[in-house]
Structure 1
Amino acid sequence: PPLYIGLKPTLPAYLNPSVKPVDLLTGVSFASTEGGLDDGTAMMSLTLTMDKQWSYFEEAVRKMKSLVGDSETNRVIKNALFVISAGTNDMIYNVYDHVLGRFISVSDYQDYTQQNRSVYPVLFFLRYFINTTENDKKKIGNLINETINPKCPSHPHHRICTENQNADSQLYNQKLQKLNFRLSQRLSGSKILYLDIYTPLIDMIKHPHSYGLEETLVGCCGTGLLEAGPLCKPLSRTCEDVSKYMFFDSVHPSQKAYSVIATYAFKKLFPLL
């Protein structure tokens, strides 16, 4: 959680009307539900493209400069931690969806997103700081690329983890680690870290009782097999004790699971920052 690094308990969405310019100095989220690295993913899910998310970031920077000036804004950004969590929706919409999917080869699509889109955040930051000094340009903040999650798709009456899609996730993550290494070599002075969230999630599925969990294949909301996101409404039936569930709905981890991931990330990555 953000509290681990001295931030506010949650990072509000940038587009939340209640967010004020001063809130930008301690972090906000520019993410868009069901979006991805691939603009095609956002178009199919009717969410914000990565380009649009970056445009909001630039807008936020202008607001910060108006509030505290150029020097302080640049200091905040250069010392900020940027987390990029994407990839799962890209695979779902463009490969596994047999109706909407644009790619047949899993490996080809992984290469496409990583070679053409995963480096985009880094290139964006380089462009953004193009007018800074050479020494400053090498330090563009800390970027964390997260892994693709394990896949446990729902069936009409039960849920299972599919080995082929989990193998795809592991292959994607292996390629991402190599890409991060190459980028780190090229951008001396920057820190581009790889956050493995696949491992703690799959360990929770295999060893639930080690984490105080009792249910790892069914979500807490509704049937736990089909509902996700907006389909889980205030009047939807929920489980009695969500802390015993790994998933809140059919797709998204519960607060308990996210806490496990956050603790794992804190121990693995923050000593490297």
Structure 2
Amino acid sequence: MACQTMLVKITPPLKIKEISSLEEKATTETCHVRKTWVLTKSHLHRLQICEKCKQWTASKLGVKEFLPPYIGDDLELSDLLTGVAFASGGSGYDPLTSIPATATSSTGQLELFLEYKDKLITLVGEEEATRVISEGIYFTAMGANDIANNYFSIPLRRHQYDLPSYVKFLISSAVNFTMELNDIGAKRIGFFGIPPIGCCPSERKHGSRECDTLQNQAAELFNSGIEKEIERLNAERNVHDSRFAYLDIYYNLLDLIQQHDFYGKQLSHGESQ
């Protein structure tokens, strides 16, 4: 099973040097990104990121230790101001990716976020709700499930696309997702690239246990493509006070995998560190 998406929203907005600091910390965290979420200093949501990354970020920013699910039975209205999760593990930019995992698609998560926005307007008024959403910082990190759990695991997309064409389809879907999010009111959106998914235990080659080079190449192709699209979005949408940024996690994680002895030692069963 691969990993997936994140959307972080922070209010009040961070200064550029603070964003760089957050980027540096995020890229040195050794966790698999798998969901999308929204995080705010006084206000935190998540549309999809791995539990460790999400809880690390929420805790470091002093928001709270646990994010209740938006569709949970125990959700209180006050949680809309302090943080809720829209996460649905197993989804991706490709609408077909979420079906085998019975997950909420990226489109479905945006619909839930629109529903959240309506509730927020009812709770604090349209002006304050607009401010809360527009002053946030959002991070998204999808694509890994699309490649590992869809393209390389289910034959349908492989019959429709060769790998470069499928990656282009994902990039186009990611851009559309971003523009929809931007149109809802999100103005600062960061993209975490896809990690080296070919090195996940489930994706390694049987026998040799080597990383799957083709899946890693697909991740690199997506990352380079989305980085170029982010540059284009910045040029086209900066008139609306919108900012987009790319955050690489691929090479740090790959270095950790390939140079693991540098980061620590392997312990045998029962051995203390």
Equivalent residue, structure 2, for 1:164: 214
CA deviations on 1:60-111 (whole Å, 9 max, x unpaired) are 1122122211121111111112221210111124421253444441110011
Structure 2 residue corresponding to 1:114, chosen from 171, 191, 206: 171
Equivalent residue, structure 2, for 1:182: 232
CA pair 155-112 structure 1, distance change in 2 beyond 3 A: closer
Matches within 5 A, 1:62-81: 62-81=118-137
The CA deviation at 1:38 is 0.8
Q: Residues of 1 paired with 2:264 and 2:74: CA distance?
A: 36
Unaligned residue ranges in structure 1 (runs of 5+): 130-139, 216-238, 245-273
**Is 2:73 the counterpart of 1:17?**
yes
Moved more, 6-15 or 185-194: 6-15
Q: Counterpart of 1:5 in structure 2: which amino acid? A: L
CA pair 205-58 structure 1, distance change in 2 beyond 3 A: same
Identity %: 29
State the TM-score, normalized to the length of structure 1: 0.68
State the TM-score, normalized to the length of structure 2: 0.68
Equivalent residue, structure 1, for 2:89: 33
Unaligned residue ranges in structure 2 (runs of 5+): 1-56
CA deviations on 1:96-153 (whole Å, 9 max, x unpaired) are 12534444411100111112x1112332134335xxxxxxxxxx33212121121122
1:83 partner SS = strand
Q: Residues of 2 paired with 1:45 and 1:67: CA distance?
A: 33
Q: Residues of 1 paired with 2:182 and 2:253: CA distance?
A: 33
Q: Residues of 2 paired with 1:29 and 1:169: CA distance?
A: 26
**Is 2:60 the counterpart of 1:4?**
yes
CA deviations on 1:199-224 (whole Å, 9 max, x unpaired) are 22112112224434638xxxxxxxxx
Matches within 5 A, 1:1-273: 1-97=57-153, 99-102=155-158, 103-115=160-172, 117-129=173-185, 140-150=186-196, 151-152=198-199, 153-154=203-204, 159-188=209-238, 189-212=241-264, 214=266
2:107 partner SS = helix
Structure 1 segments of 4 or more deviating over 6 A?
Answer: none
Q: Counterpart of 1:78 in structure 2: which amino acid? A: S
2:222 partner SS = helix
Q: Residues of 2 paired with 1:14 and 1:185: CA distance?
A: 34
* Higher RCO structure (Cα 8 Å, ≥6 apart): 2
| RMSD value, Cα | 2.6
Q: Residues of 1 paired with 2:189 and 2:115: CA distance?
A: 20
